[in-house]
Structure 1
Amino acid sequence: MIAVFRDAAPILKKIEYAGFEAYFVGGSVRDYLLGKKINDIDIATSATPEEVKGIFGQTIDIGIQHGTVMVIVDGKSYEITTFRTESSYVDFRRPSEVTFIRELREDLQRRDFTMNAMAMDKHGTIIDYFSGRDALKQKKIETVGNANERFNEDALRMMRAIRFVSTLGFSLEEKTYDSIVQNRLLLAKIAIERITQEFEKLLTGKYSKKSLQLIAETNLHEYLPMLKEKKQAILQVSKMEIDYLTIDEMWSLLLWKMDITANKEIDVFLRKWKLPVKKIKKIQKVVAALLGKQKNKWTCVDLYKITLEIVCSAEKLSMLIWEGKSIKDTDYIKAAFEKLPIQDKTELAIHGKDLLNWSSKPSGAWIKEAIEAVEYAVVEQKVKNDKQAIKEWLESCHLI
């Protein structure tokens, strides 16, 4: 048993000492069997929330109506959830009622995929009622029980299935695949924020090409914001070498392939996905830089004005789109940026007050325009970043 479980084993022992069952469950058990890094662990128990609170001294009610209590032990926090069953679902996403139970099998039976429906005791023994280990060996994503029932309970599970294809490289089990095709219209019932969360994980997974192809093949895209008519663009991106792209670069590439490049169009599209305004503005800048690179090489002013981060993203995309090359490093862009005489306006040898002292003009917009002209002149090495040299240059250009 690895350290993350060994450290938490005393939690399970303490619950068992009090007369209840407790196990590690879900994604942490799956990732342990796959040899992947584990960040968080989940614990399930036959003890009710109130019974858990009675066992541990320091607890926080973080989702007690659903059976979850956070326990603090030695400065570390652990989420402990009571075994439960769920009644009929409303809106294809939320159970109308949660019932606490004492049986582990019943609790695991309500979970989404077999690979997520395993448990492990304090000794490292795996409890696998639904052949989750076989699914891992076969690299298959399959629902626990009837796929139609699982997707009708929570339609987001269809997106989760394809997201796991992206992160794990697994394939969809045949009945699970067919059920996604059959039930895809249920995705329209799911909050956009939840869909976006899964879609962004999907876009940055190691096997994102495979998952994007599935999004198009299953026609799930028809129920994703603004993608109904964009099947071909999705398939085009799925055939590109997108391994080294960040999430913002992936959005930018999708927009480019969908021929959505105007700022207003980008804003409308990404707001439908409920993305933060700050993120939208950054993606707009990447696409705008890509449009500029379409006809020209990067100049010193581009590096300075557009910013290093945006230029690097646009460079990666331009190499991918027009050269068919997937690049991880843009060190040559960074090296060019480092060679610039200045990298920020604050490094200029002059300020607005200097211009007022040198000129008889009253304060006004001309100061900002003159400062900007100086910035670009210094960057292009038309003038040294020296106060006297800049003054003489401004006089020669009749800017003061």
Structure 2
Amino acid sequence: MIAPFKKAIPVIERIENAGFEAYFVGGAIRDYVLNRPIADVDIATSALPSELKAIFSKTVDVGVEHGTILILYDGESYEATTFRTESSYQDYRRPTSVTFVRSLHEDLQRRDFTMNAIAMTKTGTLIDPFNGYKAIQQKLIQTVGAPEERFQEDALRMMRAIRFVSQLGFQLHEETKTALTHFAPLLQHIAVERIGMEFSKLLAGVYKKTAFELLIQTKLYQQLPDLITKEEAIKKCYQLNLAPLNEIQMWLLLLYLLELKNAQDFLWKWKLPGKKVKYLVRALLLLQERMQQNWSLTSLYYAKEETAIDVEIVYQTLSGNSVDQTANNMKASFKDMVITDRNELAVTGNDVMKWLGKSGGPWLKSMLQHIEIAVLHKQLENNKDSIKEWVQTCNLQLEKDC
């Protein structure tokens, strides 16, 4: 058993010593079997939230109405959820009610896919009533029970299925795939924010090329914001080598291939964070310029390193070239620059105003830009005395836009 589980064993033992059952569950077990990094260790238990609070002095209610509390123990936090069953679902997403039970089997039976319906004891023994271990070995994503029931209970599970394909490189079980195709329209009942979270994880997966193919085959793409008429653009995506691209680079690639009239409006419909929207819209403009011409020293400088790397990787991907050394090459270009940001100048706007005896205004921004470019191109040394002399000379010709 690996470290994340070993550290949580005392939590399991304290629950057991109080007379209850407790097991490791969820994605951590799947990732453990796959020898993948484990993010969070979750616990399922026969103890009710109130009983857990009596056992542990430090807890946080994170979903107590659904039986989940956060246990704070030895510098770590663990989500512990009471065994439960769920009634009929409303809005194809949320159970009408939750019933707490004392049966691990009933709790595992309510989960989405067999690979996620495995529990593990504190000694490392797997409890696998739905053959999830076999599904993992066969690299199959298969629902627990009838797929049409699981997808009608919670339509977001369809996006999760495609997302897991992207992350794990698994295939959809044939019955699961058929049901997904049939029930894809139910996704319209799911909040865009939830869909967007799954889609972003899909974009970050190593096997996203296969995931994009499935979006087309199942017609699930038609239920995603503003993609219903974009089949050809999506097909262009999976004709490229997508594996090396991260989530941001994938969004940028998609924006370019979609040929949108207004990229910002498209991203707002996905309910992405404002900071991400702003970054992507600017990066798209730079990518469109890059498709027309090479970088200049000035354009690289104003793009900034992170954005320039993202743009160049997408550009090389669109050009059918390898991106293995792209990031390193771009970093080398920035390392060679005298300055990479205005705050690296040896002077400030206050210095310039003092030297010229002027108050601030549009002229100051223009002057600072002139200084930046002169220093960047090594026409001017980046020290105060040199810049002061240059500014005073330049000021005499300011109206000529020196």
TM-score by length of 2: 0.93
Provide closer, same or farther for how the CA distance between residues 392 and 155 of structure 1 changes in structure 2, counting only shifts above 3 A. same
Q: Is the 1:22–1:46 contact (alpha carbons within 8 Å) kept by the matching residues of 2?
A: yes
Q: Does 1:72 align with 2:72?
A: yes
Q: How many corresponding residue pairs?
A: 397
Provide closer, same or farther for how the CA distance between residues 76 and 267 of structure 1 changes in structure 2, counting only shifts above 3 A. same
Distance 2:27 2:347 in 1: 57
Distance 1:13 1:364 in 2: 68
Distance 2:97 2:270 in 1: 30
Provide closer, same or farther for how the CA distance between residues 69 and 362 of structure 1 changes in structure 2, counting only shifts above 3 A. closer
Q: Which residue of 2 aligns with 1:368?
A: 365
Q: Is the 2:240–2:320 contact (alpha carbons within 8 Å) kept by the matching residues of 1?
A: no
2:370 is paired with a residue of what secondary structure? helix
Provide closer, same or farther for how the CA distance between residues 123 and 346 of structure 1 changes in structure 2, counting only shifts above 3 A. closer
The offset of 1:206, in angstroms, is 1.1
User: Which range moved further: 381-390 or 99-108?
Assistant: 381-390
Q: Which residue of 1 aligns with 2:396?
A: 395
Distance 1:382 1:155 in 2: 61
The offset of 1:390, in angstroms, is 4.1
The offset of 1:94, in angstroms, is 0.3
User: Which range moved further: 87-96 or 229-238?
Assistant: 229-238
Q: Which residue of 1 aligns with 2:269?
A: 272
Q: Is the 1:113–1:144 contact (alpha carbons within 8 Å) kept by the matching residues of 2?
A: yes
- Cα RMSD between the aligned structures? 2.0
Q: Which residue of 2 aligns with 1:296?
A: 293
In the alignment, which of 306, 311, 316 is matched to residue 309 of structure 1? Answer: 306
Distance 1:337 1:276 in 2: 28
1:275-354 matches, within 5 Å, as 275-327=272-324, 329-353=326-350
Distance 2:238 2:333 in 1: 32
The offset of 1:363, in angstroms, is 5.2
Provide closer, same or farther for how the CA distance between residues 108 and 367 of structure 1 changes in structure 2, counting only shifts above 3 A. same
Q: Which residue of 1 aligns with 2:97?
A: 97
The offset of 1:181, in angstroms, is 0.4
User: Which range moved further: 45-54 or 131-140?
Assistant: 45-54
Distance 1:347 1:320 in 2: 33
Q: Which residue of 2 aligns with 1:109?
A: 109
Q: Does 1:381 align with 2:378?
A: yes
Provide closer, same or farther for how the CA distance between residues 137 and 355 of structure 1 changes in structure 2, counting only shifts above 3 A. closer
Provide closer, same or farther for how the CA distance between residues 353 and 71 of structure 1 changes in structure 2, counting only shifts above 3 A. closer
User: Which range moved further: 47-56 or 191-200?
Assistant: 47-56
Distance 1:42 1:276 in 2: 28
The offset of 1:284, in angstroms, is 1.2
1:212-231 matches, within 5 Å, as 212-231=212-231
Unaligned runs of 5+ in 2: none
Distance 1:248 1:100 in 2: 41
Deviations 1:99-158 (A, max 9, x none): 011111111100000011111112211111111111011110000001000001100000
Provide closer, same or farther for how the CA distance between residues 360 and 399 of structure 1 changes in structure 2, counting only shifts above 3 A. farther
1:330 is paired with a residue of what secondary structure? helix
Distance 1:59 1:311 in 2: 44
One-letter code aligned to 2:161: A
Q: Which residue of 2 aligns with 1:178?
A: 178
Q: Is the 1:384–1:390 contact (alpha carbons within 8 Å) kept by the matching residues of 2?
A: no
Provide closer, same or farther for how the CA distance between residues 50 and 239 of structure 1 changes in structure 2, counting only shifts above 3 A. same
The offset of 1:243, in angstroms, is 2.0
Q: Is the 1:12–1:122 contact (alpha carbons within 8 Å) kept by the matching residues of 2?
A: yes
Unaligned runs of 5+ in 1: none
1:28-39 matches, within 5 Å, as 28-39=28-39
Deviations 1:297-356 (A, max 9, x none): 111111211212111111111111124333354222222222223222233344445555
The offset of 1:399, in angstroms, is 5.1
Distance 1:317 1:81 in 2: 42
Q: Does 1:81 align with 2:78?
A: no
Provide closer, same or farther for how the CA distance between residues 365 and 148 of structure 1 changes in structure 2, counting only shifts above 3 A. same
1:105-254 matches, within 5 Å, as 105-254=105-254
Q: Which residue of 2 aligns with 1:6?
A: 6
Provide closer, same or farther for how the CA distance between residues 27 and 159 of structure 1 changes in structure 2, counting only shifts above 3 A. same
